[in-house]
Amino acid sequence: MTKRLKTDPRHSVVKGMLDAYWRRENPSIPSLPWGPADAGALGQFLTANPSLSPDVVATCLEFRLLSLDHAPGERVYRWIGDVLRYAGGPLNQFKQPTYTGPAPEAAVGTWRPGDKRREAEPEESIREFMGEVWFERARKQAGADPSKLSEIQRRCLRDEGLL
């Protein structure tokens, strides 16, 4: 007789979050590709983090959506074990915290929700400064849940007449 393992109640909740994340990140791919490798990787991640709440995972997925360090179509099993690296905010293409300061050469700071330092330079739009990829991700996020946009995202989308 085989022993049946107890199912982690967070597994289905987090899988639902991953499905919603996938639809926002990959609107042209109709459903989350899910197989034994993905389920196993999620199970291992949850087992390794027994006190982790689904809310923390949701925050990490929001910041991953805004990050530039990954290919959007990557299967879940490839990255779910490292999702906590997004807990502090979005990452740039070099897997570093996104900097929102005035000069790229001074990029030693970190991203802070609600950072207003960019407002001092009205002659340059946020879209131009942050780049087209960042703008498209903000637009995607606004389509899914505008209430979760940061102030800088709202301002950028308002400036473009999309909000």
What is the structure's pLDDT at 141? 76
What is the structure's pLDDT at 100? 56
Rounded Cα distance, 109 and 105, in Å: 11
Rounded Cα distance, 33 and 95, in Å: 25
Neighbour tally for 102: CB within 10 Å:
12
Q: pLDDT tens for residues 113-131?
A: 555 544 444 445 666 666 7
Q: Are 110 and 97 in contact (CB under 8 A)?
A: yes
Q: pLDDT tens for residues 37-58?
A: 999 999 999 999 999 999 999 9
Q: pLDDT tens for residues 64-73?
A: 999 999 999 9
Q: pLDDT tens for residues 76-109?
A: 999 999 999 999 889 988 888 886 555 454 444 5
